[in-house]
Structure formats: C-alpha cells, structure tokens
Amino acid sequence: MNTDQLLHTDFSPKAPATSRGGAVTSALPFLLGSGLLGTIGVFVHLADAGALTTAWFRCAFGLAGLTVWMTVRGQARALRLTKSSAPLVLGAGTLMVLSWVLFFAAIERTSAGMAVVLFHIQPMWVLLLGAVWLHERSSRQRMVSVFVATIGLVLATGVLEHDASALSAASRAGYWWGIAFCVIGSICMAFATVMTRRLGDRPAGVLAWWQCALGTAVLWVWPMQQGWPAWGVSWIWLAGLGLIHTAAAYTLIYKGMARLTTGRIAVFQFVYPAVAILIDWLYFDRRFDALQLAGIAIMGVAIWSAERCGKSGRAAVGPQEGG
C-alpha cells in the first residue's frame, strides 16, 4: 500500500484493524510518533523560552510545516470543515493546545519527570471515556496492563523520592499549581484523543493542522507582549518543536490512532514517557537507581503483555475484539 492509498483508507472508528498485518500497520505510525515526542525535553531545555512562548512557536512552525506538506500532497481541500466535523476538530485542537501550555507550565513549576508522570495518568481517562463515549470494551488484561504500566512509570521517574516539604513556601505553592496543571492537562489530552477517534476518515495531517492553526491564532499575543527569544540557536530548537514534535509526530500519531481501539492507545501512550526517561539518561546523564530500573522493566513488560494478549484475542475472536 503506497502513501496515497494509506492516507485515503477508511479510518472509521467502527472498523479498527483486526488482522495481524493491519494491526502492525496501524500501530507503527502511532509508536513512531510517540517515540519522537519522547525527545521533546531536550528541545524545550535548549530553546530556553517561557511556556506560552514555547507553545506558540511550536504551533507556528508546526502550522508552516503542515501547510507545505498538505499542499504538496494535494490535500489542502481536506482542511475544509463541515458542520458535523467542525465542533470535534476545533474542540480537539483547542484541548490539545491547552494541554501543551499546561505541560510546559508544569515543567517550570515542578520538574520534567513529575510532569511526565502526572500527564500520563491520561491513559486511565482514555479507557474511561472510550467505554462511556465510544462504547468500546477493553479487555481486563489491557486495563490491568495500563494500571501496571502507570505504576512502572511512577517508579521509573523517581518522583516518589521527591520531597516537596523541602521547598520554600513560594516554591511549594508553585509546585502544587504545577501538579494541578498536570492533572487538568491530562484530562484535556484524553478528551482530545477520544474526540479524534470519533472523527474517522480524513487525511492524517488535517487534525494536526487545525490544532496548530488554533494555537498560532490564540497564543501570538504572548511573545508579542513578553518579547521574542534572542535570534539564533534558540529559534532552531523552537523550529524543531514545531516541525518534528508537532508536524511530523502528530501526523504519525493521528494516522495510527484512527485505526486503534482506545485500549491499545492507552497502552501505547506509555512509549512517550519511556523514551523521555531514556533520553534523560542518555542526554542529561541522569543515573537510575534500582527502583527506577525496576519501573522501566515493569513498563516494558506491561506494554508487551498487553500487545501479546491483544494479538491472541484478535486471532481467537476476530473483528469484535476490543470493540
């Protein structure tokens, strides 16, 4: 199947991929996009800009990259919204941009590790919303895997060893605001994920384009008032956030998401924090203790177990699995 055929395949949420080849095809883009997102911490660190400024540049460069890509592919007409799709597209885009802002703001007030952990309670919200809104049934094994992977993530980032009481009163207040931002942001992202699943058949870049367009239109006031980053290296890293971690990553994620059940999405979302933890080790030279290594192992086993169970279930029960 070539790129044009893939982009115009029926991505209806009522018809998730069920064959082994189809499952791999739909999962691979999502996993690749999530892996790209795992490297975002390096770019944010080196860009050295405020949360809202970083979010605006991410949207603006992402919008530029996606506009060129959609135009070259001859898919600009797909950006037009209908009365039925507009509320979901604009709503999901707004929630995703809000979650980006909250994530960057949370990093400033807590730490990258804490923000990653709390944002990734969102697979729990995804499973819940998928069951209530999309009426998708997730197997008991997959739900257990998500819960176990969450425990592994908490252990792997070492947040249990963080002592908030050692902070000053002002820092402690900011810390708890950061915690709140993470929880709210995770709920926003979960709603955006499930809304995206309801949209069905459309080229993968459309959702990411509208997401970036909304963020660019809303957040431009902030860098205009607070000042632009110094011209030079900072702009290169900010461009990377837009072109790599937004245009490329979210196009891949949305391409895969449309053919995955919410249960598989919930499990696969742990790839992002797993890669982020690995990048912390490789780039920032952060050493892991035994508890953190155990957490990484638990996450890996949980993801592997969920996929193995899912493949067995698809072979046994056919198209009805997961839906």
The range of the structural domain enclosing residue 172 comes to 20-315
Each residue of 209-230: b (16+ CB within 10 Å) or e?
Answer: bbbbbbbbebbeebbeeeeebe
Condensed to tens digits (0 to 9), the pLDDT of residues 89-121 reads 889 889 988 998 898 888 778 776 677 767 777
- Asked if residues 160 and 154 have their Cβ atoms less than 8 Å apart, the reply is yes
Pick 163 or 308 by higher pLDDT: 308
Query: Which amino acid type is present at position 203?
Result: P
Element (H, E) at 312: helix 290-317
What is the rounded distance in angstroms from the CA atom of residue 117 to the CA atom of residue 175?
Answer: 14
For the chain, the average pLDDT equals 76
Condensed to tens digits (0 to 9), the pLDDT of residues 237-289 reads 999 999 999 899 988 888 887 778 777 887 787 888 788 878 877 777 766 77
Q: Report the pLDDT value the prediction gives residue 320, as an integer from 0 to 100.
A: 26
Say if 5 falls within a structural domain.
Answer: no
Helices (H), 12-85: 20-37, 40-47, 51-72
Say if 4 falls within a structural domain.
Answer: no
Q: 16 pLDDT exceeds 50?
A: no
For residue 160, the tally of other CB atoms under 10 A from its CB is 11
Say if 320 falls within a structural domain.
Answer: no
Say if 278 falls within a structural domain.
Answer: yes
Q: Provide the domain count of the chain.
A: 1
For residue 2, the tally of other CB atoms under 10 A from its CB is 6
Which residues have C-beta within 8 Å of that of residue 18, sequence separation ≥ 6?
314, 318, 319, 321
Condensed to tens digits (0 to 9), the pLDDT of residues 172-221 reads 677 888 888 988 998 998 888 888 777 766 666 788 899 899 999 988 88
Say if 288 falls within a structural domain.
Answer: yes
The pLDDT-based confidence of 13 (bands split at 50, 70, 90) is very low
Instruction: Select from 53, 100, 107 the least CA-distant residue to 227.
Output: 53
Is the whole-model pTM more than 0.85?
no
What is the rounded distance in angstroms from the CA atom of residue 297 to the CA atom of residue 183?
Answer: 25
- Asked if residues 40 and 246 have their Cβ atoms less than 8 Å apart, the reply is no
Condensed to tens digits (0 to 9), the pLDDT of residues 21-77 reads 455 566 888 899 989 988 888 898 888 888 888 889 999 999 999 999 889 888 888
Say if 1 falls within a structural domain.
Answer: no
Residue whose entry in the numeric block shows the structure tokens 């431009």? 220
Say if 13 falls within a structural domain.
Answer: no
Residue whose entry in the numeric block shows the structure tokens 């499990």? 267
Give DSSP secondary structure letters for 106-165. HHHHS-HHHHHHHHTTHHHHHHHHHHHHS-----HHHHHHHHHHHHHHHHHHTGGG--GG
Say if 15 falls within a structural domain.
Answer: no
